[in-house]
Amino acid sequence: MQHFANQYRDELLENVIPFWLKNSKDEKNGGYFTCLDRQGVVFDTDKFMWLQGREVWCFSMLCDKVERRPEWLAMAQHGAAFMQKYGRDERGNWYFSTTADGSPLMQPYNIFSDCFAMMGFAALDKVAPADTYQTIVRETFENILRRRDNWKGDYNKAYPGTRPLRNFALPMILCNLSLEAEHILGTETVNSFIPTVIHEVMEVFYQPDSGLTLENVQPDGSFSDSFDGRLLNPGHVIEAMWFIMDLGHRLGDQALIQKACERMLTTLEYGWDKQYGGIFYFMDIQGHPPQQLEWDQKLWWVHVETLVGLAKAYQYTGNERCKTWFEILHEYTWKHFKDPEYPEWYGYLNRRGEVLLPLKGGKWKGCFHVPRALYQVWKTLEAKSEK
């Protein structure tokens, strides 16, 4: 698998990271532009706080894990300075978006802005320790825990009490987030937090009859026969399973790793488009038409996170099904998402695997999933080859 490790390393360091370093920095106002067309030209200047945090994390992580390059550290600090100055409201909640110059644009309805702000500052503190960064991490973490049961708060469109549902996305992210900030929060805090997160991800949303994991359940974990209750998001589940495998590795719990591996494979096999290849974005567990019109699109993050999951599962378990699926998915992903002419990868394909939008970044796609996945696969397969 070493040849794969080299391929992912070279793509990260020679293609993807130089693209963001060259094109996303706002020299005038601070922060990053993420709405970049195929060639890297800015086509919209709004700034989305969760993508600002993700890019701070990415360049900080590279400094920590790969090499302490001055340009990477400067890039991370550049984004963090903008976030510190303009990113939060008076209650400490992180806005969803601002204008180019930092004026609030969209209210802090989305707790994932908080999650990735915390992740970014925690990573930056590892390579450029600062009391202010640590304070931001602690305050934001407390805010996330305070909001976790009703994280949209005043901005929730649902009528209260009629159909309260628990969502899979937040506990999934908290799996990874707690580890990212362990050096600030403390090992005792993280260790006390992990069992609850593992229980939520592995038990609360899991459907034993099908072997699948739902995106939303009733507060008591029971099934809701509704659009939201029937919803499957294969990418979310697979991404969560590699988080769980990492936690299992930390805990020395091989049974948990095996369970996460099997659920990942079950989800992948269920979500795979047997006609055109690739993984569906959304599905209905009962086979009804999903309410999301984009249900059959093939998205970049779903596929690259699955590559990470398969690489880690193969490293941790030696399961040959993981290796076989990795090779299948590698071929599909590099053929369809990698731009053969310009740096960075496409984000959105139609069901047939044709490019739907030629952008390299936007409101949802930024400097995160592709570089993180390239790094994770590189290091995971490199470690596997050295065994």
pLDDT tens per residue across span 82-97:
999 999 999 999 999 9
CA–CA–CA angle 78, 52, 247 (5° rounding): 110
The DSSP code sequence of 202-261 is IIISEETTTTEE-SEE-TTS----STTTTEE-HHHHHHHHHHHHHHHHHHT-HHHHHHHH
The model's confidence at residue 384, banded by pLDDT at 50, 70 and 90, is confident
* pLDDT at 387 > cutoff 80: no
Name 71's Cβ contacts closer than 8 Å, sequence gap at least 6. Answer: 21
| pLDDT for position 160 | 85
Q: What is the pLDDT of residues 314-370, one digit of tens each?
A: 999 999 999 999 999 999 999 999 999 999 999 999 999 999 999 999 999 999 999
The model's confidence at residue 148, banded by pLDDT at 50, 70 and 90, is confident
| pLDDT for position 323 | 97
**Percent of the chain, pLDDT > 70?**
100
Q: Which CATH architecture has domain 2-386?
A: Alpha/alpha barrel (1.50)
Q: What is the pLDDT of residues 91-138, one digit of tens each?
A: 999 999 999 999 999 999 889 999 999 999 999 999 999 999 999 999
For residues 44-72, average pLDDT: 98
What span, in angstroms and rounded, lies between the C-alpha atoms of 97 and 165?
Answer: 26
* pLDDT at 385 > cutoff 80: no
More confident residue, 171 or 265: 265
In the three-class reduction of DSSP (H, G, I as helix; E, B as strand; rest coil), residue 310 is classed as helix
For residues 264-284, average pLDDT: 98
* pLDDT at 186 > cutoff 90: yes
Q: What is the pLDDT of residues 194-240, one digit of tens each?
A: 998 999 999 999 999 999 999 999 999 999 999 999 999 999 999 99
* pLDDT at 1 > cutoff 90: no
CA–CA–CA angle 197, 198, 200 (5° rounding): 65
Rounded to 10 degrees, the C-alpha dihedral 275/279/283/288 comes to: 0
What is the residue type of 52? Q
The closest of 110, 126, 41, 15 to 77, measured between CA atoms, is 126
Strands 206-207, 166-167: pairing kind: unpaired
Q: What are the start-end ranges of the E strands in the chain? A: 35-36, 42-44, 47-48, 97-98, 104-106, 166-167, 206-207, 212-213, 216-217, 231-232, 283-284, 298-299, 348-349, 355-357
The closest of 95, 90, 56, 58 to 76, measured between CA atoms, is 56
**How many other CB atoms are there within 10 angstroms of residue 112's CB atom?**
18
Look up residue 34 and give its DSSP letter: -
What span, in angstroms and rounded, lies between the C-alpha atoms of 316 and 25?
Answer: 38
The model's confidence at residue 155, banded by pLDDT at 50, 70 and 90, is confident
CA–CA–CA angle 377, 263, 298 (5° rounding): 60
User: What are the extents of the domains in the chain?
Assistant: 2-386
| pLDDT for position 151 | 73
The rounded Cα 24 to chain-centroid distance in angstroms is 19
The model's confidence at residue 154, banded by pLDDT at 50, 70 and 90, is confident
The model's confidence at residue 149, banded by pLDDT at 50, 70 and 90, is confident
The model's confidence at residue 74, banded by pLDDT at 50, 70 and 90, is very high
